[in-house]
Structure 1
Amino acid sequence: MTAVGLAKRGLGLVLVVAVLLLVVGQLLGQPILLGYVSSGSMEPTMDTGDGFVAIPSLVTDDVEEGDVVVYQARELHDGGLTTHRVVGETEEGYVTKGDANPFTDQDGGEPHVTEGQIVAEVWQPHGAVMAIPHLGTVVLAIQGVAASAAGTVASVFGLATMSANGLGALMVAIGVAMLGFGTVFERLGPSQRETKRSRSRENVIAFWTALGLVLLVFVTFATAAMVVPSGTTEYELISSESPDDNPQIVTPGETAELTRTVDNTGYLPVVVAHEAESGGISANPPRQTIGIRDSGETTVSLSAPGETGEYTRHLGEYRYLAVLPPSVLLWLHDLHPLAAIAAVNGVIVGLAVVIVLVIFGSNDIRFRSAGDHVPLSTRLERKFRKWLRNGK
């Protein structure tokens, strides 16, 4: 392939990845490496429709004054994502403001922003936001066309109007369908003359290919088991001079206590760490090990300030499969949650490699078509007997 062909393919791959990241970010409700602004509140730093590089909060440093963050608002944009700059910090959280706005978000009725609300930080090399001109404009145009087409299809077939998530899923489905059609046309379309002799062997899977697939499955499920149940929980607290039986309504300066249940529905023990992601909240015990298909409890304490009003508290939960001693996992967690996840996956990869080598050896895996009529149970039994004979 020529240099021009490689450049075109590379550019196409970059565009596909960019669109996928934006679509997936829309579905998940937070930017995935790429985001965009849909208003002029950040002008002149970012114009309406400009894009930016979003760094997930999990891998960023502590938020400082001057950082531009993406946070889940409570009042602004009907509780949607907001991209504004941090201009101050109080005991209740961060003060944020759009560069073009004459007042802060908190002056406009938005509560102080806590760590638990921040989903990403905007990349600012050398202290300045690197805007990607018109990236969001293109995405919004695509979404508008897709919404119009979806509305037409819905009216023709008598379907209800699609939601934003449904539209995003439709866009993903169309992309997958186009990929499938492309693959079919490539296989069934006009054939090209082969100029090189194939070195591949039929009915044979290379050992390292098979091992890679096995490891991919193991690591994917292990990571999902740790990441999916983790997250941030939001607690409402009302500081009032007239408290009632509601445990989350207390007098100013008092503390409310709630019981939080932590369930483990898996077949491996898990190590759980709770961390305050806003002021005025704590968990006891902050760290615990939950057995197989078991549950545990922790007490969440919510402290009310001396002034009356409504407040929000955030508590983060992190889970790790207990394939290492809990003390080691918690030490790695204190370094960084990704370090603990990487260590767990490393142990799982090592165990999977050993198991595959013991059972199948390091030879390529051959499938004989002549034995396809033999039941799967019989073939597995033969394989097990062969493994026992080799072990003697």
Structure 2
Amino acid sequence: MNIIGVGERLLGAGVLLFVVAMVIGQVLGQPVLLGFVMTGSMQPTLEPGDGFVAIPADLAGSVEEGDIITFRAEEIQGGGLTTHRVVDKTDRGYITRGDNNPFPDQDGDEPPVTDAQIVAVAWQPGGGVVAVPGVGTTVNGVRDSLAWVQQRAASIFGTRSLLGTQGLAYLLLGVSVCAYVIDLVLSGDRDRGRRDISRDTGTSVRLLIGIFAAAVVLSATATMVAPAGPQEFGVVSAEFDSPGSRVIEQGTTESTQYRLGNGGYVPVVTYFDPETDGIAVEPNETVIPARSTVNATLSLTAPPETGYYRKFVVEHRYLLVLPQSTIRSLYHIHPWLPIVVIDALLGGSFYLLGAALVDTGRVRSRSRDSPSQFRRLMARLR
């Protein structure tokens, strides 16, 4: 066995996994493994294009002054993920500022950042951020290339289902299928005179099966994560209410219909976690059948003091491929645990099924003792 060759393949697979995780994290709005910055607002701590280790907010614990956070901004550069440092804590949220900016974000139009908006916290061992140069440039380049491919594919096939995170899964699955077909064509021995080809362990096919399984996991994760997350509702607490709007008489509660949709072919179960006082969704646990919508009740309570208030509730969605009681138990341990278990179930089942077919000979790859694929291809072209 060529140890150097195996090491190179493992390194290549690791780099590919890293880039894919980064790109998917940006599409989902949830940094995976690493985050990055693309502006100079965090200089000299982080230069444009630098990456940093991103700890999911659910695992990072409480946010303190001095922490660097990645949050869903409402106004900064038109909204989206922003990475700045927490410089103060108030009753209404965190005050943030880029290390290179002279004024806090809240001196402009950006409201105080709430816990519901924070998606990750930068790891700061010893009080300093570990910067990884060039991460942002690489990820943006890969993401733009994938977006261009998706747009072209959507235009050619006339469907928008190839766009977004779900489209990435379809794209990965399609590339995997093409690669598998090409591998079968190149490895097939049309010369009946050569019978020195023996059955191999199926290593190359197992790699393709692994790619298929990754596509399944990616699609499942996108289905559960993309439509979920924090939902914001603005409430104006006033002396008199205004029916049909979110102007509510101070100290009172109003309820309205909240529609939940599921455009997929697998039922999902949803849970709601209020992140601020004065908001609730009933029922808290709801099953949405495939290709259907259900109605829940959203209740908003106006504080005793007049003014504008932001209310947040976090929605969690899970594919109903496990017993509902099991998903409920996992959810109460940690909201991300059902996603991990469901992904492992779907991806693992797909991989084990494919590997079983390889072992039974229903799907085969060829031995390394046979003529190389390149030589056979060249022989056919002569």
Q: Which TM class, normalised by the smaller chain length? A: 0.5 to 0.7
Q: CA–CA distance in 2 between the matches of 1:6 and 1:46?
A: 35
TM-score, normalised to structure 2, is 0.65
Aligned to 1:285: 283
Gaps of 5+ in 1: 155-164, 368-392
Q: CA 1:124–1:324 in structure 2 vs 1: closer, same or farther (change >3 Å)?
A: same
Aligned to 2:329: 331
Q: CA–CA distance in 1 between the matches of 2:23 and 2:282?
A: 39
Aligned to 2:118: 118
The residue type equivalent to 2:68 in the other structure is: V
TM-score, normalised to structure 1, is 0.64
Tell which deviates more after alignment, 4-13 or 61-70.
Answer: 4-13
Structure 1 residue 275, shift from structure 2 partner = 0.5
Structure 1 residue 333, shift from structure 2 partner = 1.0
Gaps of 5+ in 2: 153-162, 188-193, 364-382
Q: CA–CA distance in 1 between the matches of 2:348 and 2:40?
A: 51
> 1:161-176 maps to which residues of 2 (within 5 A)?
none
What number of residue pairs does the alignment pair up? 333
User: 255, 258, 261: which one pairs with 1:260?
Assistant: 258
Residues 1:246 and 2:223 are matched in the alignment:
no
Residues 1:88 and 2:88 are matched in the alignment:
yes
> 1:134-283 maps to which residues of 2 (within 5 A)?
134-137=134-137, 198-200=198-200, 226-241=224-239, 243-263=241-261, 270-283=268-281
Give the conservation status (yes or no) of the 8 Å contact 1:93–1:278.
Answer: no
Q: CA 1:138–1:325 in structure 2 vs 1: closer, same or farther (change >3 Å)?
A: closer
Q: CA–CA distance in 2 between the matches of 1:84 and 1:140?
A: 20
Aligned to 1:101: 101
Q: CA 1:67–1:278 in structure 2 vs 1: closer, same or farther (change >3 Å)?
A: farther
Aligned to 1:43: 43
Give the conservation status (yes or no) of the 8 Å contact 1:324–1:344.
Answer: no
Give the conservation status (yes or no) of the 8 Å contact 2:28–2:226.
Answer: no
Q: Matched residue of 1:261: which SS?
A: strand
The residue type equivalent to 1:364 in the other structure is: T
Aligned to 1:364: 360
Give the conservation status (yes or no) of the 8 Å contact 1:247–1:257.
Answer: no
Aligned to 2:297: 299
Q: Matched residue of 2:258: which SS?
A: strand
Give the conservation status (yes or no) of the 8 Å contact 1:247–1:256.
Answer: no
Aligned to 2:133: 133
Q: CA–CA distance in 2 between the matches of 1:48 and 1:347?
A: 39
The residue type equivalent to 1:275 in the other structure is: D
Max radius of gyration: which structure?
Answer: 1
The residue type equivalent to 1:110 in the other structure is: E
Structure 1 residue 21, shift from structure 2 partner = 3.7
Aligned to 1:34: 34
Give the conservation status (yes or no) of the 8 Å contact 2:214–2:347.
Answer: no
Q: CA–CA distance in 1 between the matches of 2:131 and 2:264?
A: 43
Aligned to 1:67: 67
Tell which deviates more after alignment, 134-143 or 311-320.
Answer: 134-143
Q: Matched residue of 2:49: which SS?
A: coil
Q: CA 1:97–1:27 in structure 2 vs 1: closer, same or farther (change >3 Å)?
A: same
Q: CA–CA distance in 2 between the matches of 1:48 and 1:105?
A: 19
Structure 1 residue 83, shift from structure 2 partner = 0.2
Q: CA 1:257–1:95 in structure 2 vs 1: closer, same or farther (change >3 Å)?
A: farther
Give the conservation status (yes or no) of the 8 Å contact 1:91–1:279.
Answer: no
Q: Deviations over 1:85-131 (max 9, x none)?
A: 22333333322222233332222221122233223222333443211
Structure 1 residue 71, shift from structure 2 partner = 1.2
The residue type equivalent to 1:324 in the other structure is: P
Q: What percentage of aligned pairs have identical amino acids? A: 38
- The Cα RMSD (Å) is 5.2
Tell which deviates more after alignment, 97-106 or 255-264.
Answer: 255-264
Q: CA–CA distance in 2 between the matches of 1:268 and 1:139?
A: 31
